[in-house]
Structure 1
Amino acid sequence: MKPKVTPSEGRYAYEGLDRVIHERARLGVLTCLVTNPKGLLFNDLKQLCSLTDGNLSRHLSVLETEGMVAITKGQEKNRPQTLCCITAAGKERYLQYLSTLEQVIKDVAKVSKDKPASSLMRGLTPSKI
């Protein structure tokens, strides 16, 4: 039987670091869509995130399955167009994720009030982490 974890023991578990969002490409896609609330065309999103067609398609599929993005396919001037938009639920989940990241930064910044968190991280090597 696993012993109960006291609040201080699980303090740095950061349960809000959503594994779906935490992947670099999906974080980029969601950031683009949050900052463009009317949505972006597939090719524009691909360029902004520096992804290939296949890679972006796969990440959008994951996000759509999670209910975080909506994909609308249509045509303009006889050319296929795919519009990608963040959903209300996706935006809320993204903002909760960012809130957790902010807590991570605050926790690191508490180590030294004289130094910004970025300078604290510079001296760390994988063996010191």
Structure 2
Amino acid sequence: MNGLDEVIHQSTRLRMMTALHALKKDEWIEFVRLKSLINASDGNLGAHLETLARAGYVEIDKQIVGKKPLTRIRTTTAGRAAYRHHVAQLRSLLDM
């Protein structure tokens, strides 16, 4: 599967990037909302977010609002480009 992005290709990360890519450029999504959208556990989502962040595909913003933690995520320009490339590669494989 030459040309596929192995960071994005993992099924949970692909679902995450699909959900994030559906947002407007530079739009943030809260951790709990993303977790709900892809049906993941806190630990699973957190681990996959770290992988995407290390690759430079997502930005993670952690704050305390009132007395509660708030974690927000958004794709980077590089992440959006990598996702579009990955999807194009998948489509070309399916069209073979």
> TM-score over 0.5 for the alignment?
yes
Greater fraction strand: 2
The residue that corresponds to 2:4 in the other structure is 17
Query: What is residue 81 of structure 2 aligned with on the other side?
Result: 92
Structure with the greater alpha carbon radius of gyration: 1
Structure 2 residue 74 is matched with structure 1 residue 82: no
The gaps in structure 2 that reach 5 residues or longer are none
What letter is aligned with 1:92?
A
Hey, what's the Cα distance between the residues in 1 that align with 2:29 and 2:80?
15
Tell me the equivalent position of 1:117. none
**Partner Cα separation in structure 2 for residue 67 and residue 34 of structure 1:** 14
Match of 2:50 among 43, 50, 61: 61
Q: Deviations over 1:10-43 (max 9, x none)?
A: xxxx422111111000001101111123121000
Give runs of ≥4 in structure 1 deviating > 6 Å.
none
Deviations 1:75-106 (A, max 9, x none): 32332100000000000000000110110111
Give the RMSD, CA atoms, in angstroms: 1.0
Relative contact order: is structure 1 or structure 2 higher (C-alpha 8 Å, sep ≥ 6)? 2
- Could you tell me the TM-score, scaled by structure 2's length? 0.93
Aligned length: 94
Gaps of 5+ in 1: 1-13, 108-129
- 2:59 aligned partner: 70
Q: What is aligned with 2:16?
A: 29
Q: TM-score under structure 1 normalisation?
A: 0.70
Q: Which residue of 2 aligns with 1:106?
A: 95
